[in-house]
Amino acid sequence: GKHRIVIPCLGHFKEEYEKVSKLYMNNKIRTTRYTLLNFLPRNLFEQFHRVANLYFLFLAVLNWVPLVEAFQKEITMLPLIGVLTIIAVKDGLEDYSRYKMDKQINNLVTKVYSR
């Protein structure tokens, strides 16, 4: 059958652990949605899946057409930018709290049963 070798990451086994651990996937928990590189594009992508945000974007774009212009161009963009910013800050804070919780769980000391 299948078997598994467990090598402790302590003491004189450290070198052997580092060699063997590169061959296997780690078992770290990751519940965050974003990284620093993909936060802005992914957050905007998720926010524009909401119909209300698409509607306000449509109004802002439509106001840039000279024949349809009802207000100043910048004023129609303010509500959309405000809502997008508030939601992005909220999502960022939630994701950061998930990151801290993941880090805390991944650094817990565990017991290994040995026959």
Q: Give the predicted TM-score (pTM) of the model.
A: 0.70
Average pLDDT of the chain?
84
- Quickly state the pLDDT bin for 87 (edges 50, 70, 90): very high
Residue 3 phi, psi (nearest 5): -140, 165
Of 40, 43, 35, 27, the residue nearest 98 (C-alpha)? 35
Q: Which residue has the tokens 């928990």?
A: 29
Rounded Cα gap, residues 98 and 1, in angstroms? 38
Residue 82 is predicted with a pLDDT of: 94
Residue 4 is predicted with a pLDDT of: 66
Arithmetic mean of pLDDT, 61-69: 83
Rounded Cα gap, residues 100 and 38, in angstroms? 18
